[in-house]
Amino acid sequence: MKQPKAQRKTKTSPPRIVGLIGCGAIGTVLAEAIARKLIVCDELTVYDVDTAKAQQLKKSLRFPVTIAASFDELLERKPTVIIEAASQQAAKDYAPRIVAEDIALIVLSTGALLGLNVDLSKVYVPSGAIGGLDAIASAALAGIDEAVLTSRKNPRAFGLDNQEVKLVYEGSAEEAVQRFPREMNVAATLALAVKPAKVKVQVLSDPAVQRNTHEIKVKWRFGEMLLRFANDPHPENPHTSALAAWSAIKLLKTLLET
């Protein structure tokens, strides 16, 4: 009797699961990009300390979404990449455990990374509301003499109502992200790019501007750089620029496709 041929076993790739911490305005933009298939993955697992936000996000999407009841449950799903879109405190609390699990981590609250004792080889930082970081980081290898960041935002971003330009902060990037944890992640992103040089930060509350504006001046060993970015604030979160979410989307897309 002729025996049936044994079926050849084929290897199947593990599902590509994206983990999302934080279901607020920025997290929603990321999730919607996944639902629109701008980012190709098999499943989205979301976690937020406010369960109602996670449930609301899931209902708004036509895409497989799992709500993790706890951070431990999020890790148990074994995501390919986890995105932090919650807060500096969340990044500080969760980054060490995510890195220990050998899971790629995208951090939007980059201020948390300044002084955080964690292996940064598995941590990815999107460019956020600025660009040119590749050129700036290249200059840092040769030596940066001075790096200055001047940020202008409408008073409502700071909860102010001043009618004239007001200096609200001047000092280091490290202190800036502590005093303005939601507004000045851009300072941390720049600080990470120019290391070991230090960034001088000036923050202005300007009623004449409607866009979040960042001007970067860099003097380095072989020249100078001047970069300026004017970004619309996110319509649901004036503290941050819409570009911050889209830079994370681009980074996530790159990580999943490599």
Residue 234 bears catalytic tag: no
| Residue 252 φ then ψ, to 5° | -60, -45
Q: Spell 181-207 as b/e; 16+ CB within 10 A means b.
A: bebbbbbbbbbbbbeebebbbbbbbbe
Report the distance separating Cα 241 and Cα 59, nearest Å.
25
Report the distance separating Cα 237 and Cα 28, nearest Å.
11
Report the distance separating Cα 165 and Cα 141, nearest Å.
36
| Residue 49, helix vs strand vs coil | coil
Vertex 166: Cα angle to 165 and 169 (nearest 5): 140
Residues 105, 107, 112, 114, CA torsion sign:
positive
Catalytic annotation, pick one of 92, 152, 153, 214: 214
Where in the sequence numbering do the catalytic residues fall?
Answer: 214
